């Protein structure tokens, strides 16, 4: 099981490869706000754990295991963003909130959140009912 830091790298590498067809150390460093030397060290660790294959001076590619984990991590991130939007969290807070909670939830909790999102998305009136409850609660708090 990857550490939270490894998960951040795998998620970013997977996303870059999906978007651009490749992921360079400089792209990863920029996206994560770290030094390229930190990326190189992590890439070496991910190579040791068989999430990717790294060849010095040649780059790296995700293994099947790395792709599977990366895809699941991106799904988790997007699902949590969808969930927070659904429950009415303001857009400006969503990214940081997801970054703060995504590593602390079990996959069982992620699956249950997926069920809740699906429940609300299946019938739009459920979202409207939730918004009505939120408005009522806001009025009662003032």
Helix (H) or strand (E) holding 116: helix 107-122
Going by C-alpha positions, the residue among 67, 92, 73, 83 that lies closest to residue 7 is 73
State the Cα–Cα distance between residues 1 and 50, nearest whole angstrom: 11
State the Cα–Cα distance between residues 90 and 92, nearest whole angstrom: 6
DSSP, res 49:
T
Consult the annotation and say whether 103 binds a ligand.
yes
Consult the annotation and say whether 35 binds a ligand.
no
Consult the annotation and say whether 7 binds a ligand.
no
Cβ atoms of 75 and 38 within 8 Å: the answer is: no
Consult the annotation and say whether 122 binds a ligand.
no
Cβ atoms of 96 and 126 within 8 Å: the answer is: no
Consult the annotation and say whether 99 binds a ligand.
yes
Consult the annotation and say whether 11 binds a ligand.
yes
User: Which residues participate in the annotated binding site for Mn(2+)?
Assistant: 8, 11, 77, 99, 102-103
User: Which residues participate in the annotated binding site?
Assistant: 8, 11, 77, 99, 102-103
């Amino acid at each position: 099981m990857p550490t939270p830091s490894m998960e951040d790298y795998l998620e970013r590498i997977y996303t870059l490869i999906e978007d651009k067809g490749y992921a360079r150390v400089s792209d990863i460093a920029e996206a994560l706000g770290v030094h390229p030397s930190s990326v190189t060290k992590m890439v070496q660790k991910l190579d040791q754990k068989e999430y990717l294959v790294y060849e010095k001076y040649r780059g790296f590619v995700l293994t099947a295991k790395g792709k599977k984990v990366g895809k699941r991590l991106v799904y988790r991130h997007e699902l949590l963003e969808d969930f927070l939007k659904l429950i009415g969290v303001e857009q400006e807070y969503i990214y940081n909130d997801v970054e703060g909670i995504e590593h602390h939830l079990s996959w069982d909790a992620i699956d249950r959140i997926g069920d809740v999102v699906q429940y609300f998305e299946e019938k739009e009136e459920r979202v409207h009912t939730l918004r009505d409850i939120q408005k009522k609660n806001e009025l009662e708090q003032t």
